[in-house]
Amino acid sequence: MSEIPGDLKFLKSHEWARVESSGRVTVGISDHAQGLLGDLVYVELPSVGDTVQVGNGAAVVESVKAASDVYSPVSGTVVEVNGALSDKPETINEDAYGEGWIFVVELDDKEQLNDLLSPDDYAELLEDDDH
């Protein structure tokens, strides 16, 4: 398993959130999640302007094994999507925490970030899942 970046927060469902200097939140799925899904063949992105709610499905990633909802770790408005994933969904497999980001949200409530898992807590969750 790859290193979990220290600047991220996580949902138990394996989505990550990175707070940018602008205060916006970039969202993707964890390296663990992409490993479970296998080779991704399609990403259904939200639309810019969509309103997303914490814990609700905002995007879908499909692999040869399964389709999986991507839940938003925060509530807000989608202000950017990673359109490159339409042509190259495997970018998530190759760089889940970098170029494989999925969408960016203009956050409604910064307090929601406090409800997310720290990198250490997420690593502990993964260890518990493995046992």
Domain residue limits, the chain = 8-110
What does residue 31 show for φ and ψ, rounded to 5 degrees? Answer: -60, -35
Q: What is the pLDDT of residues 70-107, one digit of tens each?
A: 999 999 999 999 999 999 999 999 999 999 999 999 99
Contact residues for 127 (Cβ-Cβ < 8 A; gap 6+) = none
Tell me how far apart the alpha carbons of residues 106 and 54 are, in angstroms, rounded to a whole number. Answer: 12
Residues 62, 38: Cα–Cα separation, whole Å: 9
88: left (phi > 0), else alpha (psi -120 to 50), else beta? beta
- Average pLDDT, stretch 107-119? 95
Quick one: 21 exposed, middle or buried, by C-beta within 10 A (0-12, 13-18, 19+)? exposed
Q: What does the pLDDT look like over 18-46, one tens digit per residue?
A: 999 999 999 999 999 999 999 999 999 99
Q: Span 108-117, mean pLDDT?
A: 95
Instruction: Select the CATH number that applies to the domain covering 8-110 from these four: 3.40.640.10, 2.40.50.100, 2.60.260.20, 2.40.50.140.
Output: 2.40.50.100
pTM assigned to the model: 0.94
Distance CA 128, CA 105 (A): 30
